[in-house]
Homo-oligomer: A and B are copies of this chain.
């Protein structure tokens, strides 16, 4: 368990501002935030590489705020893996064992087997691919059986195909070794897939903590909403409210949304582009909006197509190229933009 209490620290261009956070044992906890939000600084503070200006850090109930890193008893893997270039893979892995005076040949071969690096033991780090380096770095960090693993952007240096298997590997390690994992990233997809809980950090401040569902469906403010991909922001007024189903007026357009608000409230409605489907026919229902409009712009983005639609309000939809071709989507074409009331997130 990691407890962080009112942690503040300035360093170069980064600053953390009175941050409190509690990470439970066994959790896979992801800290998500844009580049420059101070995420790595927070991780380095927890590992003890810097001392905070104020605040406390407790690991398993014991205060370690001003202890040197070797007393923090956690494993740390940097984004670039930081393997020692002058040592073979084997020596790299043994380094932690030598420092902690653990003498066990079995540990080394066991962790090498787990991480599928047995064939790499005599190689040197600079000759390894990114994915191999990461597995070696994990082996080096895990060979001494730490309880807590800190990961600094563990996937961002990998190519997309290796990322998939690395995600799988991290999930497996977390489950099989019953590790507490603290993983930082700027990639919302990564956070969504991996996390038990997510904390959003922006400009050195903790903005929201919650399960992936809470974060991605119910962002607490518009800054978080736009960071987690609600690209459509509609300003409107509630004209009826009935057991969580709201009718909202935005300009001349009306749509349904689920949420809590009073009649007359001015609200912001957030809607993800991928939650808008396009159709040639209307299919209005009590839980599904279907707004008539006209395509204004079309951008092909690989397998996806971004379509801008004018339905009185301007919407931004993301659909597959297949369906865009099936419907002959191009500027000027009339379409219905459809989205569920439950896809709309309401903030007052």
Please list the residues of chain A having a beta carbon within 8 angstroms of any beta carbon in chain B.
Answer: 164, 188-189, 192-193, 229, 272-275, 277, 299-304, 318-322
* Contacting residues, chain B, for A164 (C-beta < 8 A): 299
Task: Give the chain B neighbours of A321 by CB distance below 8 A.
Answer: 274
8 further contact pairs, Cβ within 8 A, besides A274-B304, A275-B322, A319-B320 = A164-B299, A188-B302, A193-B300, A274-B303, A274-B321, A274-B322, A303-B318, A318-B320
Which B residues are in CB contact (< 8 Å) with A303? 229, 272-274, 304, 318
| 9 pairs, CB–CB < 8 Å, chain A vs chain B | A164-B299, A193-B299, A229-B302, A229-B303, A274-B320, A274-B322, A303-B318, A304-B304, A319-B320
B192, B301, B320: which contacts A189 (Cβ < 8 A)?
B301
CA distance A300 to B164 in the complex (A): 10
Determine the distance from Cα of A275 to Cα of B300 in the docked complex, in whole angstroms.
14
| Cα separation A288 to B299 with both chains bound (whole Å) | 27
Measured CB to CB, the nearest residue on chain B to A273 is B303
Please give, as numbers and ranges, the residues of chain B lying within 8 Å of A300 by CB-CB distance: 189, 192-193
How many Å from the CB of A345 to the closest CB on chain B?
A: 15
- Chain B residues with Cβ below 8 Å from A318 are 303, 320
- Give the complex CA separation of A189 and B319 in angstroms: 15
- Pick from A188, A272, A301, A302 the residue with the most CB of B within 10 Å: A302
Give the Cβ gap from A172 to chain B, nearest Cβ, in Å: 14
- Tell me the bound Cα distance from A274 to B325 in angstroms: 12
10 interchain residue pairs of minimum CB distance: A274-B303, A189-B302, A303-B318, A193-B300, A274-B320, A275-B322, A274-B321, A274-B322, A320-B320, A164-B299
Q: How far is the CB of A328 from chain B (nearest CB, A)?
A: 15
Cα distance A277–B272 in the bound complex, in angstroms: 22
Distance in angstroms between the alpha carbons of A122 and B302 in the assembled complex = 38
Chain B min CB distance to A190 (Å): 10
CB-nearest residue of chain B to A326: B277
Contacts of A319 in B (CB 8 A): 320
Nearest-CB residue, chain B, relative to A188: B302
Q: For the complex, give the distance between the alpha carbons of A193 and B305 in Å.
A: 11
* Whole-angstrom distance between the Cβ of A233 and the nearest chain B Cβ: 15
Instruction: Give every chain B residue within 8 A of A299 (Cβ-Cβ).
Output: 164, 193
A164 to B307, CA, bound (A): 13
- Shortest beta-carbon distance, A316 to chain B, in Å? 11
Interface centre among A189, A272, A277, A320 (most CB of B within 10 A): A320
A325's nearest neighbour on chain B, judged by CB, is B275
- Give complex CA distance A283, B34 in Å: 45
* Residue of B whose beta carbon sits closest to that of A193: B300
Kindly provide the distance from the CB of A326 to the nearest chain B CB, expressed in whole angstroms: 9
User: Whole-angstrom distance between the alpha carbons of A71 and B339 in the complex?
Assistant: 58
Instruction: Compute how far the CA of A274 lies from the CA of B164 in the bound complex, rounded to whole angstroms.
Output: 18
Residues of chain B lying within 8 A (CB to CB) of residue A302: 188-189, 229, 274
